[in-house]
């Protein structure tokens, strides 16, 4: 009973210190909202209004017909070129990302059943943008081919041929927002949890209050509990705030059960708290705590599969990511949001994360005292 | 600058700062160790190019034609085909994230194709990671086209041939290696760290430790104090830049097609904006702690997200695009990607230089207004 | 320069700071004149506005109202010109700790455009004065507190300024270095006729100035020659010699009488300051003292005058004191009497050593503390006081040696043993974001108090330490005196048997310091064992027994009278505690140099 009271007192104290002044409350609420807005709108791989220049030597109607397909939101025709010399500068100066070139025989080739060629020049400076743009054009062209085939058959009769029928599961429109935005739930949760915990012990060390705690009858595990509970609460509240924005502002479907989502987030926060408190126990000053958090966070985010797939990384780095709790929670969050996955599909993600949490929390408790000599 | 500048005093200040840099491991850490870590992390850890993507292949009725199509998937270096006996199994594997997609040849595929009926090929993609899904879609389409043109040639089935063939050339980065555009952009992020973060921290440290109070009560002038900070960190930042560029070219084999002159001028302009931002932050922030946090939020994060380093600026909503103009890293990233991959493209470089010079002027005016030889 | 011309003149000087929605009036309209060619002291307790005044004078801040002229120049508008003529040493002098002594000197020589050709000679002279010559290549961060201050002063003096402004140059400096600093300053005044303005919170230093200006709570409460102040107190100061056992109770009683300005324990005696001039026998009758107590008149000190002036101004601490003066209660109910005999050994330290790498912070120290004793641990910064303390409280594992507190080793002790000790750290270390009440609530929970006992204890702490007024104030915003009271209250709620106080009065003004010691005395009466560190040597007089430490070893231990007696010499037959301290340190240094010569 006494232990319980003592832990509650510690938790209460911790919450008051964290939330007492306007500034620290704002730090917990405003940056996350700002970040999700910036990330939500700026950080995605969708292409919009890609500038396209056209060099059309063809007099026929097919080239114009195909060009009409480019006139969606993705592409924007910026210039008509009149000579091939203009192609290089227009790409180099970044006036256009793509130049579409129709040869003089484009329409006549199609009419006569010869193979018509569409030349495409892409600015490869940003290889990802280049690939995506190329992919869009491929789809436009194959759509155009299908239309031509249907027309052709209508004229000649018959119904032969083969086509690719592509369906995307979970994210039917292949909208990369759906991929990035649920990931932000995990990202902001770990940022806030680390911010709250990584400085908490160092701050008390600097203020001298940590000594005061250590001479009091608190055992390291009571201190650990008193430090973890508020951080977990704040982490969960933060996650809820972000989830609400994700669902109601960005309209990302939440297909799975909230229970699974929160179970995953809870264990994730637990492991983040463990890591944060470990960093904090090692640091002597808040400055070191902040640096420690930064040095953990940057690789943890980059090597989590948040923006780029883990499967693209070298084997060694892939093995390293197994120690990163964010790697697991991203699968859980995206699984629950987009696939509606439940425990049966996700348990293999829960187990390692829980292990990381337990190990780091125990280490943190042991380090509380170690760092004194 | 305010007041006259005495070279004696200035050299004294610069020598002091240099000694401090040499003796403070965290300066060296931020200027040299962190850049190398980031470079390695990004160079090896981040790749947007999907390779060896596991794709399920379901052939309901084996046949020569089906085998032929499947073999074209095996030939692709991007796809690692995984055979399944039924679509149910493949769908399960997608749910468990074992494969990123599946290709489905129905039982009647070969016979339908031969008999001239519609013979569609089904493709199911795991769309969770839309970007990867789209790239995978491209790979599958490529293999399928390759098979189709071969089939058309061998069977003389011209009627199956698509009317328009797409031929593309990707300039500057024909192998579409994402490293080639990530690594140059990283130079900008790294220089932000030295220029913005380190400068903000060391100036804040002088206030925090009280050394600034002693300094400003001597006859030293405002201009000397500022130059005494700008010169050493400018040199340090440029050294960091040379190191990262060297690593980029030698270790990561990123092509360098522009001139070192343009690189030097652009880096100098950008370094100056970073240092100016660091100085402005340190004037506002009282402690190293606040300075560090503010520096991350106003220099590091924007350099990461809003600079075009990873995410395409042209695709951002117009208000966000407008904001990116006041972020110096955006202009520098644009220069870097051109210099490295395309060469000295003067229209791009001039435009960016103008922006950087304008920003430098504005930051400089802010510093002159806000920095005083006075407390508070 | 003409002795009577003014180097500084302030008129109606005001400075207001805004922090959030609070405004702090640091200076409330002061008029100060500083004459040339002498040392003027700006004397006042902490937070009196001394630093603000110094910064305004150095042209580092703009006044909110009024004006300061330095060497005939307006400090607000012509600061650059002023900087070329003066030198200013801030409170914590901004030495570059990662630069060597030589490099720091070079930097300041460059900044002051001191010609290179003359440097060698000037450095040599300065290093002789400061005794830093052997340390030219040492990093400034590795110097002791005293050496740092001396180096700071040397940096200011490379090009001798017309006017030298020193902001609390002796804070945190050991008595030996303090004397040396003053010697350097005086050598400049005597040889070059330099004008100096120096601020200090040490009242004994006031007597070293030619003129003093007394600043309190942003206002000037007096100025003139220091001797004039003490002279006014003539005939009001006495020494009493009570029986040893009763001195504490007597001191507590006396300090509550309205006609008493000040009553302090000085070794075995009590120093008494009366509010009016009296004959010794009149004192006895006025205070109804027992006849066997001898009353001898003594010379007044500057401090007596300062306390008198402060009491007249009536600051907050005095108000509390007066409120508590109702009746004869001297507040003995503060703590339930501890069980056990005064002969029990409560703290037992045997050959205790702490080593950090190659550096011995504490080396083979041995002492014992008995129940109910006030035991002092004295020494300069870096002497090993805090390290010893932290080991006793179980915050730091010792390298070797034995240490027992109330029969337990605190490093491994369980909750029950930890409840027996109370600890008050060197600087305020309660939660600054919590209010006074919340802090007390938290610490009462931490020590396992609950239910009615807990409520009663909190109410008691609020009442006994006069904290009701500030119950809802965040402790960050409390005045220093209240912070110290709150810390002590938090350390006492669980009624510990042993109390550790690490420099509890550093940075506290003399009035609050007296009040604080009143509480400590009351606790000692309740047989609480109290271990206290301090660098105010006059506070050593308040202890029953003490040890003096330097460089991690014990130089001497015993009662204050014993220690002083052992240090008396022919030149100085009745040394003060400070004299004794300096004597011990110098003797130790001599011993060492002999050892090295051998």
Task: Tell me the CATH number at C94.
Answer: 3.40.50.300
Same domain flag for B13 and B147: no
The beta-carbon neighbor of B373 closest among C79, C91, C95 is C79
Question: How many angstroms separate the CA atoms of C311 and C511, rounded?
Answer: 8
CA atoms within 13 A on the CB side of A260: 23
Q: Which of residues 214-273 of B touch C (CB under 8 A)?
A: 214-221
Q: What is the pLDDT of residues A131-148, one digit of tens each?
A: 888 888 888 888 888 788
User: Are C42 and C184 contained in the same domain?
Assistant: yes
- Are C236 and C198 within one domain? no
pLDDT at position A305 = 86
Arithmetic mean of pLDDT over chain A: 85
- Looking at the structure, tell me whether residues B116 and B242 fall in a common domain: no
- Establish if B167 belongs to a structural domain: no
Q: Is B206 on the interface with C (CB under 8 A)?
A: yes
The pLDDT of residue C322: 45
Note whether A282 and A371 are within 8 A (CB).
yes
Let me know whether B131 and B234 are in one domain: no
Task: Please say which residue of B99, B131, B160 terminates a domain.
Answer: B160
CB burial class (10 A; 0-12, 13-18, 19+) of residue C412? Answer: exposed
* CB atoms closer than 10 angstroms to residue C30: 22
Q: How many CB pairs under 8 A join B and C?
A: 96
Quick one: C70 and C204 in the same domain?
Answer: yes
Q: B3 pLDDT band (50/70/90 cuts)?
A: low
The reply to whether B156 and B210 lie within a common domain is: no
Q: Residue C292: pLDDT above 50?
A: yes
Query: Is C213 strand, coil or helix?
Result: strand
Q: Is the pLDDT of residue C420 over 60?
A: yes
CA A62 and chain centroid, separation: 41
User: ∠B109-B113-B115 over CA atoms, to 5°?
Assistant: 120
Do residue C464 and residue C559 come from a single domain?
A: yes
- Give residue B352's pLDDT band: very low, low, confident or very high (50, 70, 90): very high
Q: Is residue C412 part of a domain?
A: no
Of B126, B160, B194, the one marking the end of a domain is B160
Query: Helix A343-370 and helix A258-282: axis angle, to 10°?
Result: 20
CB contact set of C555 (below 8 Å; sequence gap of 6+) = C548, C549, C584, C585, C588
Together in a domain, C63 and C177: yes
Name the residue with higher pLDDT: B255 or C173.
Answer: B255
B4 and C106 Cβ atoms separated by less than 8 Å: no
pLDDT tens-digit series, residues C343-396: 889 999 999 999 888 888 899 999 999 998 999 998 877 788 888 988 888 888
**pLDDT class for B38, splitting at 50, 70, 90?**
confident
Q: Does residue C521 sit in the same domain as residue C570?
A: yes
SS3 C26: strand
Q: What pLDDT does C321 receive?
A: 47
Nearest to A356 by CA among A327, A335, A325, A331: A325
- The residue-averaged pLDDT of A52-73 equals 87
Whether residues C423 and A212 touch (CB distance < 8 A) is answered with yes
Same domain, C220 and C235: no
Residue B316 lies in a domain: yes
Distance (Å) from the C-alpha of residue B11 to the closest C-alpha of chain C? 8
The predicted pLDDT at position C124 comes to: 93
Residue C67 has pLDDT above 90, yes or no: yes
Q: Is C556 helix (H, G, I), strand (E, B) or coil?
A: strand
Q: Give the model confidence (pLDDT) of B132-175 as tens digits.
A: 888 888 888 888 888 888 887 787 666 666 777 777 777 777 77
CB count, 10 Å around CB of C469? 12
Smallest CA–CA separation between B40 and chain A, in Å? 11
Tokens, residue C582 = 């300096």
Query: Could you identify the residue written with the tokens 């009683």?
Result: C253
User: Which residues in C406-524 belong to E strands, given as ranges?
Assistant: 421-424, 498-502
Q: How many domains does chain C have?
A: 3
pLDDT at site B56: 93
Interface test with C, best of B3, B13, B210, B217 (most C CBs within 10 A): B217
**Domain-embedded: residue B73:** yes
pLDDT for position C594 = 67
In a domain, B375, yes or no: no
**Residue B172 covered by a domain:** no
Could you tell me which residues come within 8 angstroms of residue A19 by beta carbon, excluding any fewer than 6 positions away? A25, A28
Could you tell me which chains touch chain B, where touching means 3 or more CB pairs under 8 A?
A, C
Residues C239, C155 within the same domain: no
Q: Which segments of C168-217 are extended strands (E)?
A: 195-200, 211-216
Inform me whether the pLDDT recorded for C9 exceeds 50.
yes
Residue ending a domain, among C224, C244, C275, is C224
B97-112: per-residue pLDDT in tens? Answer: 889 899 998 888 888 8
Give the pLDDT score at C330. 53
Q: Say what the pLDDT of residue C125 is.
A: 92
How confident is the model over C33-47, as a mean pLDDT? 88
**What is the Cα–Cα distance from C534 to C504, expressed in whole angstroms?**
7
In sequence order, the 6+-apart residues with CB closer than 8 A to the CB of A40 are A177, A180, A181, A184, A249, A250
Kindly state whether A21 is in contact with chain C, defined as any CB-CB distance less than 8 angstroms: yes
Strand spans (E) along C465-566? 498-502, 529-534, 545-550, 553-558
Whether residues C155 and C53 fall in one domain: yes
pLDDT of the residue at B159? 64
Same domain (yes/no): B149, B24: no
CATH number at residue C266: 3.30.70
One domain, residues B293 and B241: yes
* Residue A277's pLDDT band (cuts 50, 70, 90): very high
Does the beta-carbon distance from A42 to B113 stay under 8 Å? no
Domain edge (last residue) among C224, C250, C272: C224
Q: Which two tokens stand for residue B375?
A: 């407390």
C165, containing H or E segment: strand C163-167
CA–CA distance, C410 with C500 (Å, rounded to integer): 13
Please check whether residues B42 and B191 belong to one and the same domain. yes
Which of C186, C188, C146, C191 lies closest to C169 in space, CA to CA?
A: C146
Q: What pLDDT does residue B1 have? A: 42
- CB B46 to CB A299 under 8 A? no
Q: Give the pLDDT score at A39.
A: 77
> Are C126 and C158 within 8 A, CB to CB?
yes
Min Cα–Cα distance to chain A from B221, Å = 31
The predicted pLDDT at position C335 comes to 67
How far apart are alpha carbons A67 and A89 in whole angstroms? 22
Contacting residues of B for C92, CB less than 8 Å apart: 209-210
Among the candidates B160, B192, B215, a domain finishes at: B160
> Tens digits of per-residue pLDDT, A63-112?
888 888 887 778 888 889 999 899 988 888 888 989 999 989 898 888 88
Q: What is the CATH number of the domain that holds B138?
A: 3.40.1710.10
Q: How far is C585 from chain A (nearest CA, A)?
A: 28
pLDDT > 60? residue C316: no
User: Which chain C residues have a beta carbon less than 8 Å from that of B206?
Assistant: 94
DSSP summary character for residue C244: G
Given C188, C204, C224, the domain boundary residue is C224
CB-count exposure of residue A371 (10 Å: 0-12, 13-18, 19+): middle
Which of B49, B311, B345 lies nearest to residue A42, judging by beta carbons? B311
Beta bridge pairs of residue C271: C239, C264
Helix (H, G, I), strand (E, B) or coil at B119: coil
B95 in reach of chain A (CB within 8 A): yes
Which of B10, B11, B219, B227 is most worth mutating to test chain C (most C CB atoms within 10 A of its CB)? B219
- What does each C-alpha distance from B65 to A131, B82, B102 come to in angstroms? 30, 18, 18
Structure tokens that stand for A371 in this block:
């760092």
* Residues A208, C415: C-beta atoms closer than 8 Å: no
Q: Are residues C286 and C434 in the same domain?
A: no
Give, in degrees to the nearest 5, the angle at Cα B213 between B210 and B214.
Answer: 95
Are B187 and B103 within one domain? no
Element (H, E) at C365: strand C359-370
Residue B237 to residue B32: CA distance in whole angstroms: 9
Domain range for C559:
373-382+419-590
Architecture in CATH for domain A50-156: 3-Layer(aba) Sandwich (3.40)
Give the chain C residue whose CA is nearest to the CA of A24: C433
pLDDT of C598 over the 60 cut? no
Q: Is the pLDDT at C280 greater than 90, yes or no? A: no
User: Are residues B115 and B252 located together in one domain of the fold?
Assistant: no
Which of residues A331 and B320 earns the better pLDDT score? A331
pLDDT category, A169, cuts 50, 70, 90?
confident
User: Does the distance separating the beta carbons of A215 and C423 come in below 8 Å?
Assistant: yes
Whether residue B170 lies inside any domain: the answer is no
Chain B residues touching residue C106 (CB < 8 angstroms): 12, 15
Query: Can you give the pLDDT at residue B162?
Result: 72
Alpha-carbon distance values, B167 to A213, A234, B177, C391 (Å): 71, 54, 19, 78
Tell me whether residues B121 and A162 touch, CB distance under 8 A: yes
Same domain, C138 and C234: no
Strand partners, A101: A55, A119
Give the residues across from A283 on adjacent strands.
Answer: none
Burial of A244 from C-beta contacts in 10 A (0-12 / 13-18 / 19+): exposed
Residue B224's pLDDT band (cuts 50, 70, 90): very high
- pLDDT over 80 at B270, yes or no: yes
pLDDT band at A154; cut points 50, 70, 90 = low
- The arithmetic mean of pLDDT across residues C405-431, rounded, is 84
- Bridge partner list, C13: C30
**Residue A344 pLDDT grade (very low, low, confident, very high; cuts 50, 70, 90):** confident
Rg (CA), chain A: 28
Question: pLDDT confidence of C326, banded at 50, 70, 90?
Answer: very low
Q: How far apart are CA A138 and CA A69, in angstroms?
A: 12
What tokens were used for C463?
């009442």
pLDDT, greater one: A338 or C174: A338
Domain count, chain B: 2
Distances in Å between the Cα of A331 and the Cα atoms of A182, A319, A341, B245, C308 are 10, 16, 10, 35, 74
HSE (side-chain half, CA atoms, 13 Å) at A48: 18
- Selected residue with higher pLDDT from A102 and C217: A102
C216 and C90, same structural domain? yes
Residue B168 lies in a domain: no
Please give, one letter per residue, the 3-state secondary structure of chain A.
CHHHHHHHHHHHHHHHHHHCCHHHHHHHHHHHHHHHHHHHHHCCCCCCCEEEEEEECCCCHHHHHHHHHHCCCCEEEEEEECCHHHHHHHHHCCCCCEEEEECCCHHHHHHCCCCEEEEEEEECCCHHHHHHHHHHHHHHHHHHHHHHHHHHHHHHCCCCECCEEEEEECCCCCCCHHHHHHHHHHHHHHHHHHHHHHCHHHHHHHHCHHHHHHHCCCCHHHHHHHHHHHHHHHHHHHHHHHHHHHHHHCCCCCCCCHHHHHHHHHHHHHHHHHHHHHHHHHCCCHHHHHHHHHHHHHHHHHCCCCCCCHHHCCHHHHHHHHHCHHHHHHHHHHHHHHHCCCHHHHHHHHHHHHHHHHHHHHHHHHHHHHCCC
pLDDT band at A159 (very low <50, low <70, confident <90, very high): very low
Residue ranges per structural domain of chain A: 2-44+175-370, 50-156
Q: How far apart are CA C100 and CA C87, in angstroms?
A: 21
- Percentage of residues in chain C having pLDDT higher than 90: 30
| CB B172, CB A125: distance < 8 Å | yes
Segment C103-131 shows an average pLDDT of 92
Residue with tokens 């370094």: B271
Tens-place pLDDT, residues C444-497: 988 888 888 889 889 888 887 888 888 888 888 787 778 888 998 898 888 899
**Quick count: other Cβ atoms within 10 Å of Cβ C549?**
25
Q: Give the domain extent around B68.
A: 53-160
Task: Tell me the β-bridge partners of C223.
Answer: C213
Domain assignment present for residue B136? The answer is: yes
Q: DSSP secondary-structure letter at C137? A: T
DSSP, collapsed to helix, strand or coil, labels residue C410 as: coil
- From CA C54, how far away is CA C199, in angstroms rounded? 8
Distance, in Å, from the CA atom of A216 to the CA atom of A9, rounded to the nearest integer, reads 13
* 3-state secondary structure at position C189: helix
């Amino acid at each position: 009973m006494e232990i319980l009271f003592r832990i509650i007192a510690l938790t209460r104290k911790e919450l008051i210190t964290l939330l007492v002044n306007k500034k620290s409350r704002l730090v917990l609420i405003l940056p996350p909202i700002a970040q999700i807005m910036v990330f939500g709108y700026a950080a995605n791989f969708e292409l919009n209004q890609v500038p396209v220049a056209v060099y059309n030597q063809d007099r026929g109607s097919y080239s114009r017909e195909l060009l009409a397909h480019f006139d969606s939101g993705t592409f924007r025709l910026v210039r008509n070129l009149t000579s091939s010399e203009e192609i290089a500068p227009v790409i180099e100066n970044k006036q256009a990302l793509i130049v579409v070139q129709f040869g003089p025989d484009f329409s006549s080739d199609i009419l006569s059943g010869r193979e018509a060629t569409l030349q495409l020049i892409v600015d490869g400076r940003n290889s990802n943008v280049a690939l995506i743009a190329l992919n869009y054009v491929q789809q436009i062209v194959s759509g155009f081919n299908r239309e031509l085939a249907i027309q052709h058959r209508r004229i000649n009769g018959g119904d032969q041929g083969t086509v690719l029928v592509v369906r995307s599961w979970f994210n039917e429109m292949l909208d990369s927002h759906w991929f990035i935005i649920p990931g932000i739930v995990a990202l902001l949760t770990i940022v806030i949890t680390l911010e709250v915990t990584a400085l908490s012990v160092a701050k008390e060390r600097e203020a001298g209050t940590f000594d005061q705690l250590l001479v009091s009858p608190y055992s390291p595990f009571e201190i650990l509990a008193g430090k973890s509970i508020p951080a977990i609460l704040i982490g969960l509240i933060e996650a809820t705030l972000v989830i609400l924005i994700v669902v109601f502002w960005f309209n990302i479907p939440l297909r799975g059960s909230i229970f699974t989502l929160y179970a995953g987030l809870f264990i994730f926060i637990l492991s983040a708290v463990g890591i944060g408190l470990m960093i904090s126990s090692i640091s002597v000053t808040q400055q070191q705590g902040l640096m420690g958090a930064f040095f953990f966070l940057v690789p943890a985010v980059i090597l989590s599969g948040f923006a780029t797939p883990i499967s693209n990384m070298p084997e060694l780095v892939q093995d390293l990511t197994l120690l990163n709790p964010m790697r697991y929670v991203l699968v859980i969050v995206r699984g629950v949001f987009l696939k509606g996955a439940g425990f049966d599909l996700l348990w293999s993600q829960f187990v390692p994360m829980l292990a990381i949490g337990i190990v780091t929390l125990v280490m943190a408790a042991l380090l509380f005292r170690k760092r004194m000599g | 600058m305010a007041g006259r500048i005495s070279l004696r005093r200035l050299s004294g200040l610069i020598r002091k700062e240099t000694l401090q840099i040499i003796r403070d491991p965290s300066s060296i850490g931020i200027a040299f160790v962190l850049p190398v870590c980031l470079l390695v992390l990004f160079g090896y850890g981040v790749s947007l190019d999907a390779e060896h993507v596991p794709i399920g292949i379901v052939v309901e009725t084996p046949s020569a034609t089906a085998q032929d199509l499947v073999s074209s998937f095996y030939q692709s270096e991007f796809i690692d085909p995984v055979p399944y006996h039924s679509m149910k199994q493949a769908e399960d594997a997608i749910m468990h994230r074992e494969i990123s997609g599946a290709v489905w040849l129905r039982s009647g595929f070969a016979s339908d194709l031969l008999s001239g009926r519609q013979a569609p090929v089904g493709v199911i993609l795991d769309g969770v990671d839309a970007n990867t899904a789209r790239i995978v879609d491209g790979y599958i389409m490529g293999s399928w086209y390759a098979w189709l043109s071969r089939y058309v040639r061998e069977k003389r089935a011209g009627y199956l041939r698509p009317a328009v063939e797409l031929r593309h050339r990707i300039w500057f980065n024909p192998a579409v290696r994402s490293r080639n555009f990530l690594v140059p952009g990283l130079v900008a992020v790294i220089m932000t760290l030295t220029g913005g973060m380190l400068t903000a921290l060391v100036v804040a440290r002088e206030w925090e430790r009280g050394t600034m109070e002693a300094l400003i009560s001597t006859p030293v002038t405002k201009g000397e104090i500022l130059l005494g900070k700008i010169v050493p960190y400018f040199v340090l930042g440029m050294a960091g830049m040379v190191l990262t560029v060297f690593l980029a070219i030698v270790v990561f084999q990123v092509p360098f097609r522009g001139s070192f002159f343009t690189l030097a001028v652009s880096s100098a302009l950008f370094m100056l904006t970073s240092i100016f931002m660091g100085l402005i932050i340190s004037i506002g922030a009282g402690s190293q702690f606040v300075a560090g946090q503010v520096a991350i939020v106003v220099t590091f994060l924007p350099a990461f997200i809003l600079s075009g380093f990873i995410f395409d600026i042209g695709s951002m909503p117009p208000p966000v695009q407008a904001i990116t103009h006041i972020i110096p890293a955006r202009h520098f990233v644009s220069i870097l990607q051109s210099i490295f991959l395309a060469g000295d493209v003067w229209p791009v470089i001039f435009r960016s230089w103008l922006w950087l010079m304008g920003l430098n002027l504005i930051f400089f005016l802010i510093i002159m207004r806000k920095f005083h030889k006075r407390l508070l | 320069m003409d002795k009577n011309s003014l180097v500084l003149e302030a008129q109606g000087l005001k400075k207001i700071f805004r922090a959030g929605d609070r405004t702090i009036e640091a200076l409330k309209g002061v008029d100060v004149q500083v004459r040339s060619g002498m040392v003027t002291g700006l004397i006042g307790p902490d937070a009196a506005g001394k630093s603000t005044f110094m910064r305004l004078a150095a042209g580092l801040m703009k006044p909110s109202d009024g004006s300061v002229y330095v060497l005939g120049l307006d400090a607000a508008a012509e600061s650059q010109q002023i900087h070329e003529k003066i030198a200013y040493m801030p409170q914590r002098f901004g030495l570059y700790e990662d630069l060597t002594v030589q490099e720091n000197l070079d930097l300041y020589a460059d900044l002051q455009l001191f010609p290179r050709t003359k440097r060698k000679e000037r450095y040599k002279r300065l290093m002789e004065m400061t005794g830093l010559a052997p340390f030219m290549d040492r990093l400034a961060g590795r110097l002791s507190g005293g050496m740092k201050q001396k180096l700071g002063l040397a940096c200011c003096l490379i090009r001798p300024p017309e006017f030298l402004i020193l902001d609390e140059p002796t804070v945190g400096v050991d008595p030996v270095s303090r004397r040396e600093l003053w010697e350097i300053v005086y050598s400049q005044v005597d040889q070059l006729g330099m004008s100096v303005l120096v601020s200090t919170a040490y009242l004994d230093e006031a007597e070293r100035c030619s003129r003093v200006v007394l600043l309190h709570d942003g206002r000037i409460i007096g100025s003139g020659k220091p001797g004039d102040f003490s002279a006014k107190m003539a005939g009001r100061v006495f020494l009493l010699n009570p029986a040893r056992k009763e001195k504490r109770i007597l001191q507590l009683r006396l300090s509550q009488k309205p006609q008493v300005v000040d009553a302090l324990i000085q070794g075995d005696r009590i120093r008494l300051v009366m509010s009016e001039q009296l004959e010794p026998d009149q004192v006895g009758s006025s205070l109804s003292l027992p006849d066997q107590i001898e009353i001898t008149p003594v010379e007044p000190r500057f401090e007596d005058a300062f306390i008198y002036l402060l009491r007249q101004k009536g600051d907050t601490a005095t108000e509390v004191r007066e409120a508590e003066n109702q009746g004869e209660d001297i507040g003995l109910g503060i703590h339930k009497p501890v069980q056990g005999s005064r002969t029990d050994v409560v703290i037992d330290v045997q050959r205790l050593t702490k080593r950090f790498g190659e550096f011995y912070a504490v080396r083979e120290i041995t002492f014992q503390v008995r129940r109910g004793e006030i035991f002092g641990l004295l020494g300069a910064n870096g002497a090993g006081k805090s390290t010893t303390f932290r080991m006793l409280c179980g915050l730091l594992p010792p390298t070797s040696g034995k240490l027992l507190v109330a029969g337990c080793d605190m490093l491994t002790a369980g909750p029950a043993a930890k409840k027996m000790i109370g600890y008050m750290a060197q600087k305020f270390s309660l939660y600054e974001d919590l209010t006074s009440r919340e802090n007390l609530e938290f610490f009462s929970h931490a020590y396992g108090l609950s239910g009615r006992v807990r409520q009663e204890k909190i109410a008691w702490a609020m009442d006994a330490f006069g904290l009701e007024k500030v119950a809802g104030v965040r402790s960050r915003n409390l005045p220093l005196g209240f912070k110290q009271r709150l810390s002590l209250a938090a350390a006492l709620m669980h009624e510990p048997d042993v109390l550790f106080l690490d420099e509890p009065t550093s940075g506290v003004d003399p009035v609050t310091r007296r009040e604080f010691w009143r509480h400590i005395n009351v606790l000692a009466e309740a047989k609480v064992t109290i271990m206290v560190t301090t660098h105010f040597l006059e506070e050593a007089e308040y202890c029953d027994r003490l040890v003096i430490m330097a460089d991690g070893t014990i130089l001497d231990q015993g009662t204050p009278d014993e220690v002083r007696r052992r240090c008396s010499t022919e030149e100085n037959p009745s040394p003060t505690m400070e004299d004794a301290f300096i004597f011990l340190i110098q003797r130790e240094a001599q011993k060492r140099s002999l050892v090295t010569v051998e």
